[in-house]
Amino acid sequence: VLDGKLPTAADIEAAAQRLGANIRRTPVFHLTGAELGVEGDVALKLELTQHTGSFKARGALNSIAALPAAPAGVVAASGGNHGAAVAWAAAQAGAAADIFLPATSPASKAERVRSYGATAHVVEGYYPDALLAAQRWIAERSSGGDEILCIHAYDGFDTVCGQGSVGLEIAEQVPAADFVLVGCGGGGLFAGVATALAGRCDVVPVEPRRCANLHAALAAGHPVPVEVGGVAADSLGAAETGAIAYAVAAGSDVEPAMVGDDDILAARLWLWEHCRLLAEPGACAALAAVTAGVVPVRRGETAVVVISGGNHSTLPYPASHERRD
Ligand SMILES: Cc1ncc(COP(=O)(O)O)c(C=O)c1O
């Protein structure tokens, strides 16, 4: 249930101003439809070239920059791109960061968090255990009077506004875009980009079949927990859609798309073989919707596909998507 206000296009403009040159304006890579076997044109928005290797840097930095003064500390529970992004953003702001990771995430993730100067707390168990440890840690410190900022990975107002800055760049870089496809986990990226581009073009959230929390939420009429798994679960495997994303999706007439794990891996391999871009599986779900023909790109249309991150330690060849670290 949404307990705060929904971001507006003006909120996203303000976030983009705030982020300024601290965030990279990532490049757009134009393909002809013929290359992809579709009739229209496709442009890739390369967020895998963003600081920390994913768009998550935007929401993390905006969440800190939106405060009137730098917090004493910044905390996140995440074994993935959000954790690295928060560690990086805190370093940019000169704040200490404590990132709680489940012991089930690969050691390289904790190393990456430490490489930005943050403290990595490795917690026995899975993501919910790390979240609980982070909450306990915050409760202990806050009672001492310290202002500690906990940055939500996808359902925070400032997180969503930061992610929305991707949409503003797309509007400038590909003004002819008819629609934009984004991978959807908890839905922060979708909600931000859809709000930024409202009235200009449609934004289609794409979920893996095995992480389909938005489809489940729309069917139930509210966010519901789902079982997640599959090749993209490390980035798109939020157990439940965010309240903000749910409100944005329910208020739009855009149909979310669904892709299979094989489609995602095939899109990842295509991106590597044909563009020499190595994206992580979750970042290829949106492209998979095009390459698998789930979302048609018709003659005369231009689709923008956000390639959202590149932090993975596996190669894209068949049978090599098991973790190597
Ligand atoms: C590479 C990548 N793409 C997409 C997403 C989905 O973002 P959201 O949870 O805002 O839907 C994530 C989230 O971790 C991610 O790491």
Query: pLDDT per residue over 188-201, tens digit each?
Result: 999 999 999 999 99
182 C-alpha vs ligand 1 centroid, how far in Å?
Answer: 9
In this prediction, residues 294-321 reach a mean pLDDT of: 89
Q: At 108, is the pLDDT very low, low, confident or very high (cuts 50, 70, 90)?
A: confident
- Residues in CB range of 140: below 8 A, 6 or more apart: none
The pLDDT of residue 165: 98
The pLDDT of residue 136: 92
Q: Is 293 left (phi over 0), alpha (psi -120 to 50) or beta?
A: left
- Residues in CB range of 314: below 8 A, 6 or more apart: 320, 321, 322, 323, 324
227 C-alpha vs ligand 1 centroid, how far in Å?
Answer: 17
Report yes or no: 278 and 309 within 8 Å, Cβ to Cβ: no
pLDDT, tens digit, for every residue of 134-187?
A: 999 998 887 777 789 999 999 999 999 999 999 999 999 999 999 999 999 999
Q: Is the pLDDT of residue 17 over 70?
A: yes
Identify the DSSP state of 255.
Answer: P
Ligand 1 atom 1: the closest Cα is on which residue?
309
Backbone phi and psi for residue 103, each to the nearest 5 degrees, phi listed first: -60, -15
225 C-alpha vs ligand 1 centroid, how far in Å?
Answer: 17
As for ligand 1, residues whose beta carbon falls within 6 Å of it are 54, 56, 80-82, 154, 183-190, 235-236, 238, 280, 282-283, 308-309
The pLDDT of residue 322: 52
The atom of ligand 1 lying closest to the CA of 185 is: 11
3-state SS assignment for residue 189: helix
Q: At 320, is the pLDDT very low, low, confident or very high (cuts 50, 70, 90)?
A: low
The pLDDT of residue 205: 98
Q: What is the largest CA-CA distance in the chain?
A: 62
Cα separation, 273 vs 150, whole angstroms: 39
Report yes or no: 83 and 76 within 8 Å, Cβ to Cβ: yes
Dihedral Cα 141, 145, 147, 149, nearest 10 deg? 30
Which amino acid is it at 13? E
Q: At 105, is the pLDDT very low, low, confident or very high (cuts 50, 70, 90)?
A: confident
For residue 185, which of 256, 135, 107, 124 has the smallest C-alpha distance?
Answer: 256
The pLDDT of residue 194: 98
Higher per-residue pLDDT: 313 or 245: 245
pLDDT, tens digit, for every residue of 36-90?
A: 999 999 999 999 999 999 999 999 999 999 999 989 899 999 878 999 999 999 9
Q: Is the pLDDT of residue 305 over 80?
A: yes
